[in-house]
Structure 1
Amino acid sequence: MVLYHLKEKVEYSDRQFKEPPACRDVPPDPCGGPRPRPTSDAPSSSPAAWCRPIPCPHLRPRLSSHQSLPSCALRPRANPCHQRQRPGIQSRAQACLSASPFRMKSAAGLQERRGSNVSLVLDMSALGAVEPLNCGVVTPRERASQEYLLSAGRALTRQRLQDVVLHTQALHAEFAEIPMNFVDPKELDIPSHGTKNRYKTILPNPHSRVILRTKNSYNPLSSYINANYIRGYLGDEKAYIATQGPMINTVNDFWQMAWQEDAPVIVMITKLKEKNEKCVLYWPERRGIYGKVEVLVNSVSECDHYTTRTLTLKQGGQSHVVKHYWYTSWPDHKTPDSAQPLLQLMADVEQDRQASGSAGPVIVHCSAGIGRTGCFIATTIGCRQLQQEGMVDVLGIVCQLRGDRGGMIQTGEQYEFVHHALSLYESHLSADTGQ
């Protein structure tokens, strides 16, 4: 009797697959997944139709207009029709996932998220070697910013420069259009680099950052410093280095940079403390050793707005002279009342740079290395442009600076001050040439 019933079940099972009954339309699942497997109370649908997966729109990853999933990721998993359905919400969720490359973890983790009855935890391992969708993808907004920094400009004749200075509102509007070009921390693949940054949002742009030469190739942090090479007039490579004010744990790195780059001049445009610490005292009173670099102070000269020190740097039996300018008349988050002291500082720095005979970059820093530092470098380039070409393109200069280090010239007031300083310099040029 038992054998008879078993034989009857086997024959019924064979007939079920070889001779399927007539199909009857079955309403689709509310979630949009495969149609439910027929029970014994209802005739079954055609196996071919029942097995066809329908992707679940609620679980499909959201893509931007320029992204798409690889075709292999859109293939359904094999034999979803032979998986027994469970009633309820969990059954529908599993049915929706049957046509997706994502795989749901075990049911034990479905209620991990607080405040939710059902939390779908997706297992990305099913994608295999598929690369992340956003890896290396440049968004339309980023592409537009890059194109702006490369192409924007507004050439100003001498007369036009004098007129523009009077229209401060237009200058502020023009400044607001310039992309900041700040760095995403994910772009710097250097473990613990945050310990060497004075401000966590002000980071060196990777393509132009200064890399310290070190024998410890296994520790990338030892070669890291928050500094960028900055192009000069006519795109002259490595004309300047813009960097943050040294911290207690980066003083040795700073002097190592000054030595390896053979910098003829260092310009410091900040006080040591302005409400908060802006920079540490990184030079000695007479003599100091910072890592492998020995620093000697040969002379000190006091001026109305800045102090000049003549330094000698030594390492490994070699030495070279560096001029250090400490400009203290520039208030934090503001602009100076007069641009004349800045123009005098620029003239002295340029004279010392030419006299040194060194082709190394001039190191410029404030606290973050973008605001006052950007103003000094932009004004220096603009003065050279006025002198050589009789015109100046401040917008183009700032775009070039931000292409090398994000955020150079921080505020509209600083942008206005650069124009004011250049108009003052133009007045001096006109007086000298009798125009």
Structure 2
Amino acid sequence: MTRRLSSSTRSHTEDSIFLRPDEEPVWLDEPTKSAKRVDGPPKKEDRQDGHGEEVFLYKVYTLVVEFHYWVALFVVSQVTGYWMFFVAEGNGPFVSIYRALQVIDFFLGFVLPCHPILGLDSTTLMRDVVNTTRQTWIIYVTGVVGVAICVFMVIHMVRRWRHGAGPRWSESASGDVGDRRQSVSRQPSFTLSEWTDAQEDLMDLDAVPQTPVFEMGSDNKPEGDAVTLTVTPVGLQERRGSNVSLTLDMCTPGCTEPYGYGAQLSPRDQSAQEYLRQGTHVLTPAMLHTRAMDDQSLQAEFYETPMNFVDPKEYNYPGLVRKNRYKTILPNTHSRVILKSQDEDDFLATYINGNYLKGYGGEERAYIATQGPTVNTVGDFWRMVWQENTPIIVMITNLEEKNEKCAEYWPEDTATHEGIEITVVTVTQEDDYSLRVFTLKCGDEERSLKQYWYTSWPDQKTPDKAPPLLELVQEVERAREEAPPTSGPIIVHCSAGIGRTGCFIATSILCKQLRREGVVDILGTTCQLRLDRGGMIQTCEQYQFVHHVLSLYEKQLSHASEE
């Protein structure tokens, strides 16, 4: 049974999914203990009185409707039978239909107190039918079919009255309560071999994401035990133009005022900011391998970490909706990329949905995480690429995945956006990604740009294999080292710029940390990324995947050192 937990029983950490030790859970779909003590259990009479009259009326309505169906079936069978009889007697098809209807008219005279509808000769016609000695078997079969239909009608309607209509109505009435309870699908329990060898499909998130709910079985452990609790991740938010409203749980701590500029934060947001600044969990290689296999602990750690989403009210600017792919995935204010413009007071001219992110060792502006460009923001995207002197773009999404995820912002040959001439020099197709080399020219200046397009990563899920991602991370690092020293940040984007983008950037940072320090701090890196852009590493499954990738990478390093 799936039950929803009242928000009043959450711990002091805003995104915590666990109870405080001194509290008992309060379920949203049950009355409180005090109410139970006062009112007592509902009596059977109380439960029946509320719906008794409705159930009776529903039964009557159902039987009346079904009776008309049976009558129609009876009439059709008799008309068909007598039509065949008259045709066999040598009458034309249309004349036979008319005479078959006259026979039915004769029978109705016994049931309804009215004159024949199709003429007074129906009695004479029926006398001729009875006295005929040819094709009588058709009349007998027609009569047997009519009697059988009547018998089945009576039996069926009696059973529906006693067993069918009532319970179905009761189920539909009681179903209203059950429908309010959300179902929960467990996070997948996988092993490292599944990431390296198997090609199994992983859990697919619901189209309409669910807020965290609890699944508790009959064999529950003591309340507050983290092992008994499972949650479903919060998915992406509403897509512009979609008729399906996908919303985030805005109880997730997010900054309601721009911070970093002396703005006053609420206590709720201050606790989230403190958690993200102080969050750390350094793992040695042995601890990393053990941790990667501990799904329960990773779930708990992921959901304890604040998402730090931005309140959409912070960006209450007319026309801004055209600049965002998802209306509630917005850049955190203190680290957002500001485009240069001749009119610095025009917010729309300086806005792009992207954030600067720190790299390994606190390197400032090592990456830019941004959304997949839309048709309205392709020009802004290329302005950002030129302004930031970007040497590499990493694209981790298909153009379409059920719906549009990213506009095709690059040309097949040559195109010009915002005064920047983009020319495709070479295209190389690898197993899991393609590499495009561009030449950018603006005025008299010319630059080179590489785009790595990784297409083997489904939205809100994880790749089937970890090694291709590690290869891409290492290839991007080599390309970064070969770029000019004056180059700017690497731009990474998927569709929303938080899930797959966060996994790639975190993996890149943590691979460097593992090589240079021999340890990794996946929690600390996640917290730092979310400080700069809310929601980075979007789902628990992705968080687990990052642990598995680092565990695999550490084994590769150990194996290489032994050789």
TM-score normalised over the length of structure 1: 0.68
Match of 1:301, SS state, is: strand
Alignment of 1:76-225 (within 5 A): 136-188=263-315, 190-225=317-352
3-state secondary structure, aligned to 2:438: strand
- Superposed CA offset, 1:107-129 (max 9, x none): xxxxxxxxxxxxxxxxxxxxxxx
CA distance in structure 2 between the partners assigned to 1:137 and 1:361 by the alignment? 31
Shift of 1:291: 1.4
Q: Which residue of the other structure, out of 519, 522, 526, is the alignment partner of 1:394? A: 522
Q: Hey, what does 1:328 align to over in structure 2?
A: 455
Give how far 1:190 is off: 4.0
Structure with a larger share of its residues in helix: 2
Q: Quick check: 1:416 aligned with 2:549?
A: no
Structure 2 gap ranges (5+): 1-256
Return the letter of the residue paired with 1:223: T
Identify the residue that residue 559 of structure 2 maps to in structure 1.
431
**Residues 377-423 of structure 1, C-alpha deviations (whole Å, 9 max, x = no match):** 00010100000100000000000000000000110000000000001
Whether 1:404 and 2:522 are equivalent positions in the alignment is no
CA contact (8 A) 1:262 1:360 kept: yes
1-structure distance, mates of 2:442, 2:536:
33
* Counterpart Cα distance in 2 of 1:137 and 1:377: 30
1:329 deviates by: 0.4
Given candidates 288, 292, 299, the residue that maps to 2:419 is 292
TM-superposed deviation, 1:137: 4.0
SS in 2 for 1:392: coil
Equivalent position of 1:237 in the other structure: 364
How far residue 218 of structure 1 moved from its aligned partner, in angstroms, is 3.9
Deviation (angstroms), 1:360: 0.5
Residue 314 of structure 1 and its aligned partner are, at CA, apart by: 0.8
Identity of aligned residues (%): 57
Match of 1:369 in 2: 497
Residues 194-225 of structure 1 show CA distances to partners (whole Å, capped at 9, x for unaligned) of 21000011000010000111112342201100
Which residue identity does 1:148 align to in structure 2? Y
**Equivalent-residue separation in structure 1 for 2:315 and 2:532 (angstroms):** 15
- 1:341 aligns with 468
Write the distance in 2 (CA, Å) between the matches of 1:233 and 1:434.
Answer: 26
User: Matches of 2:534 and 2:293 in 1, distance apart?
Assistant: 28
SS at match of 1:154: coil
Give the aligned CA root-mean-square deviation in angstroms.
1.4
Question: What's the CA shift for 1:172?
Answer: 1.0
Does residue 379 (structure 1) correspond to residue 526 (structure 2)? The answer is no
Q: What is the rounded CA distance, in whole Å, between the counterparts of 2:340 and 2:316 in structure 1?
A: 17
For 1:256, the equivalent position in structure 2 comes to: 383
Higher deviation after alignment, 364-373 or 135-144: 135-144
- Post-superposition CA distance 1:121-154 (Å, at most 9, x none): xxxxxxxxxxxxx995422211110000000100
Note if contact 1:212-1:225 (Cα within 8 Å) is conserved in structure 2. yes
2:468 is matched by which residue type in structure 1?
P
User: What does the per-residue CA deviation read over 1:78-111, in whole Å, with 9 as the maximum and x for residues that have no partner?
Assistant: xxxxxxxxxxxxxxxxxxxxxxxxxxxxxxxxxx
- Paired positions, count: 302
How far does residue 184 in structure 1 lie from its aligned partner after superposition? 1.2
Residues 188 and 206 of structure 1 are in contact (CA less than 8 Å); yes or no, is this contact kept in structure 2? no
Distance in 1 separating the partners of 2:273 and 2:376: 34
Matched residues in 2 for 1:301 and 1:359: separation?
23
What's the secondary structure of 2:440's corresponding residue?
Answer: strand
Contact 1:202 1:368 in 2 (8 A): yes
Residue 185 of structure 1: how far off its partner (Å): 2.1
Deviations 1:27-82 (A, max 9, x none): xxxxxxxxxxxxxxxxxxxxxxxxxxxxxxxxxxxxxxxxxxxxxxxxxxxxxxxx
- 1: CA distance between counterparts of 2:361 and 2:506? 12
Counterpart CA distance in 1 for 2:317 and 2:365 is: 23
CA deviation after TM superposition for structure 1 residue 359, in Å: 3.1
Q: Distance in 2 between the 1:191 and 1:235 partners? A: 36
1:278 aligns with 2:370: no
Residue 192 of structure 1 and its aligned partner are, at CA, apart by 2.4
Q: Structure 2-normalised TM-score?
A: 0.53
Deviation at residue 187 of structure 1 after TM alignment: 2.4
Q: Which residue of 1 aligns with 2:22?
A: none
